[in-house]
Amino acid sequence: MSRLSVHKAIWLKNPQATFTGNDQNAAGGVVVAGSEIVELVAAGQTPETRYGEEVDLSGCVLIPGLINTHHHFYQTLTRCLPTALNKELFPWLKSLYQVWQHITPEMLTTASQLAVLELMLSGATTVGDHHYVFSRQLQQAIDAQVEGLSQLGARIQLTRGSMSLSEKDGGLPPDSVVQSEDEILADCERVIQRYHQKGASARLQVALAPCSPFSVSAQLMRETAALAAQHNVLMHTHLAETEDENQFCLQTYGARPVDYLEQCGWLNERTWLAHGIHFTPAEISRLGKAGVGIAHCPSSNMLLASGICPTLELQAAGCRVGLAVDGSASNDCSNMIQEARQSLLQQRLRYGATRITAETVLSWATQGGADIYRRPELGQIAPGKQADLAIFKLDELRFSGAADAIAALVTCGAHRVDKLMVAGQWLIEHGKHRFIDEHKLMATHHRKAKILWGKAGL
């Protein structure tokens, strides 16, 4: 550590509390040099590393940057649409497909920017998106997203989603938002080769993500698995979100979702699933043995009345469990620290107050997400990890009188960071992004949302 130059290291000192995501002691703060954490400091101690700058974190909680494992950025354009309110999954989707088919590349770019900014302001440093709507005017959707997100600075896990089964083929979506399987596979290969980055410093990665069993064919699932293996990228899809989906799989494929997953070559550690609610104990065991990941989406599951994810059983079986806000049309906000609170409350209904703690849900939101994305350098505060850090002040009315700062962060309802660091760079300070004017972005976004609603006749 002595080789580090004074001007290159920063001591983030004396936080009120630190959640490291492991058993290491960082009560006196952390030292960051370049893009990495290089030292943890015990309470009352000073760093051994030479440093050139101090940042006082008194009255703040320091945690690893949160990691969102499932989202649909484009849905920020369709929050609380009257035609989609108070519906369960299938009718909700059918009503919204009629709107989403009119999204333009410019709308998607702005929607993606707003979703990522909202996530970052809530403490997220790594954010994932599942984009699967490729209408005729939106064939280059991934390119539109990449173009709009570079300035924000977060780590991005984009998934090239797909839908190939329209209503006439026995699927759920209309013809206007599906593509041929040849188109899908060719573009999947293109975006991997153009955008996917490797290594600990990667800011942009690509996974392949057929939307769901009710919108793609078994053949596309199998060919996607082969392509992902060829390029060593991850795979993602919705699975077992509702009992309706289970019935669809039985009627269409003669198999329950997990059996179908295995038949398509997806039951392996390259895969992570959104929702994962309606599994039998035997299916949970199989998923765990295969090392499949699960994106737990509590707010969305409650809003659509889908059910409660069996997180602890999945985790005990060997699954990697992360946290996710899901799309903004089935959550209606993109706030990761609030999602941790929702998870705490929802999961206690299933498991009780002693088994689900603030630390439990923060672990899903940090290390759990890093495990899902196969990013061991993320999700914890420890020497050698990437310096992706979120800092929350406890100076609002909601925190007054709180004795346990980590518990207060979750149960008292934190919602906005004071500072956010990605790879050693401050991107948010004093609650404001350094490069993005949120009010201008919001005005542009809302204007484009109204244009979209007009195109859909709303």
The Cα 173–Cα 99 span in angstroms is 12
**Superfamily of the domain at 6-64+386-431:** Urease, subunit C, domain 1 (2.30.40.10)
Please state the φ and ψ torsions of residue 18, each to the nearest 5 degrees.
-130, 130
Q: Cα separation of 329 and 351, whole Å? A: 28
Burial class for 188, CB neighbours closer than 10 Å (0-12, 13-18, 19+): buried
Beta strands per DSSP E along 286-347: 293-296, 320-323
Residue 295 tokens, joined: 């994106």
Q: Which residues contact 84 (CB under 8 A, 6 or more apart)?
A: 78, 92, 95, 96, 329
**Whole-number pLDDT of residue 458:** 83
Q: What residue has token string 């990665």?
A: 205
Q: What is the CATH number that goes with domain 66-372?
A: 3.20.20.140
281's tokens: 């104990």
User: Boundaries of CATH 2.30.40.10 in the chain?
Assistant: 6-64+386-431
Instruction: Considering the chain, tell me which residue range(s) the CATH 3.20.20.140 domain(s) occupy.
Output: 66-372
**d(C-alpha 418, C-alpha 381), whole Å:** 18
H-helix or E-strand containing 53? strand 53-56
Contact 310, 277 (CB under 8 A): yes
Q: Give this prediction's pTM.
A: 0.96
In this prediction, residue 2 carries a pLDDT of 39
Q: Which residues of 394-423 are buried (b: 16+ CB within 10 A; e: fewer)?
A: beeeebeeeeebbebbbbbebbbbbbbbbb
Q: Which two tokens stand for residue 25?
A: 């002691």
Q: Which residues of the chain fall short of a pLDDT of 50?
A: 1-6
* 308 CB-near residues (< 8 Å, 6+ apart): 277, 298, 301, 346, 347, 349, 350
Residue 224: burial class (beta carbons within 10 Å; 0-12, 13-18, 19+): buried
pLDDT of residue 7: 53
Strands 29-33 and 66-68: unpaired
**Given this model, what pLDDT does residue 6 score?**
46
